Structure 1
């Protein structure tokens, strides 16, 4: 590019050569004079030297007026060429002889005697002028030819470059229009003077939900385009000062009333002679929402919305370094959460945690920090609170728990609490946490059994409310298993656990859906598998409650068959606990003689026939014989009731 620029400058200098002669004549000190080549300077200087030498021609003396007369001839010849030099020489010689003839004394004082010497001197000067003019003319022609060729080449180059520039400009404009139209970014052009919208692209329409006719020609204030006009004004001022801005975060309004966030870049452009601003905005609304969500999740528990453990620990460090007069801490633990999860599933357990979060958070001030620090653990930090205030807060939590259980008796909430208070900085925040947690653990040990018992009692009431197990059904079944156990020779100390099994063996059905328990027709294969889960659910419930722990294994195995075709472990024969074999016969008889959603009750005689039929398959044959004999013995203590209605699937 530098070489091309230098060539262009050189050619432009050649183009100005036609003006050089007049410049030299007018002002020999003109700048153009300095641009002449060395050959041109020789052709100018050499005639001057010849003219000066004529002052010292041997045998005569030539006056200054003579030199002054011949100097234009020589200069003309050296600059304008051979033809001009010849014409000028002829004219000058004629004038010379004319003056010498009419003015014998001589205007030009020539001290040569006779006409011949004067004529010879004139001829010599003429020849010198002609010779120099000829040389100059040859050089001038050569330079003119070179100049013409270069001018022709320069014209061609300029034409090609001009064409190329026009094509590139056209292509650039076409590319800009395509990018402007197809860009998903919001692009709009606004006038600098009145801030009216001159043009918008499809990306702007798609994001804002507007149509072109309602935008173009209106001001940004009329459109209510920017949520914060001060931010827009700040952006415009930055453009006026810098003429370009990049990634300026700004909120914009959409047609539906919602707002978005964009990264705004802008530059000034000339459009039809008017100075305008081109705005290009990248919609980062979704990205900002994701960032805000990540920021929120980094500090909050996603389930309860409370602060998480990470934020709790950070707050502890802040309070450690602060100058609070006192700091209180309360640790809360939800009792029986595992039992709820095992019985109803984790979705029900999560719902109980959300309820607990609301109950715990409700009594506290805005500045108090409530967080979930574990699966079933919550913590509260109370800056500038004394012991009395912390105890009062614990009482408010207990009151909220009681009020919640009154509204939700089907699944009671139980929370164990412990607290500690630090005065000054004598105790570290970590030690304060340990003290509060130890106090909570001690209370949990005291109330754990009663809390679980309360949950189990609530579950049984729920079963009865759903008509899964009625009180009469439970009493009849307990009577059947007691008499059968005695007939089989079990000692009395085992009868209490057997009666407990008769009452709670189907407690796992609390975790099953009504669509399965109350389905009027046969169950599908998938529903059968779901139904069979109640043994495992019931066993986990019994394991979590100390009062039911002795029967937990029996609850798991009470649907095993004598031939190994039962569930869930496919035990057979005497691998099945005796208590489970007794319960299986008594429960089957009670179920057959009562109505079900999928069938009506059958008679006692037919029920006995079914037990006899499945003895050795489903039932222990020996226990089955004892049961049948006990029914036929009119002297036994077993009371056979009339058929009754219960809604319980085996």
Structure 2
């Protein structure tokens, strides 16, 4: 005969919801409420509440009748309980958004049970609740064989003790003897690929021996003929009088659910236009790759300049085609282990595990070369690709990955600022125009400073990020002069002490202007300190040597050299030899001696070209 504990084990192991109530009646004998006596894990999922928060509580205390109609069903169950009968009711759950067939039945007076069965599936509870708890194993077998769920018993060694017809069908066997007494776990795997295959035996038996439940929807099952399909399984320990005898394993073919989930995941995590992963997936990838195993970890950020203008001029179809082309270029020129994402409307991001700064620099160059080639081949009716790129590499796990992304975006913003076709460049152009109109600062002077400072940067082997910062500083270091009175700014003679004090404010004014402008904020401090001197006698803070920003020290030398070698209203230009001698004379006091050495080397190399 089947013991009650074995019967309860099967009910609790099933993924179909089951709940048992003690009925509460009024003085007239009518059912008015019920007390939760027992529920299985599937019922916890159905109502979204834990067993410990339900058992012993009244239905009216916990759930509104309109939600699960439980109180109405209890009243129906009151009549059924008198005759130990059963009744079926169709039901739609707002919690799971799924249709169920609810069976209300009683096998003990004063008590009823509810079984929630998927409306498309015959389940174990449909029949179990109608049978006497003392029925024989043969009677129970008829019930087990009526469900589409595969059910089998296992001992502590993983050997099969019994199985139902659904289990036999999924196994592809015709007789119980082909499986009973044999290892059921020989048919379970973690991976589809045989090279990476691992059984789930250790995981299940380890928990089983600790009297713990097991569940997974990430396993696969191998039939007798060798074919493999995904399964979701549940294992519950079988315990009798405190002694662990084995377990009850239920599982079902998860192919359709996997296919639907894969389709949902693709829609959820991919951009429908480009096919790339989207921002949501990129955030998940950050968590996956932000570990020691994938260091160095590089990030590339890209932004299409003027996409809105392209949509307006060429049409949205052309803009969409451009986005697809950019996605293709980025994918084809990124390493195989990289993930390219559409980060925003006109933004892209690439995460590159195990990629150092030199490697990511090489990939950026490949991308830029591919874009140049594309732009050369298109006709005049097609929009060219204008993509600003920024990148950064994480070497230390303690460095926040979001800061790496922010740095890459800052670098990208600088690229947009330097790009003639970007919207940010319009702001930069406006600022430069105002500066040229208000002071003796000329466009030729700015161009010379950019050229001179870049040559110094090349000798110093500065990064492309530092070179871009240096170019911006060369153009904007005197930006604050737009806030100085014209009489002082354009005075031909020597300034008085008061006028000089006013003039010195221009570095702070420039600092204030750029620090709040995205793409320029990194040159705020270099602008503030470009008049500091190596010996500490400069302004505004009297900084010395390495305390002065590197780009400020470079601009200080090249600006002085250019000023000495160009005509001024109040003096003639010096010769290059005299200017170099003056730079050398002030090395270590006004100028950083190391920067002077690099500057002189850059002049020497330029003279050989």
TM-score (norm 1): 0.32
Q: Which has the larger Rg?
A: 1
Of Structure 1 and Structure 2, the greater helix share is in 1
Of Structure 1 and Structure 2, the greater strand share is in 2
TM-score (norm 2): 0.33
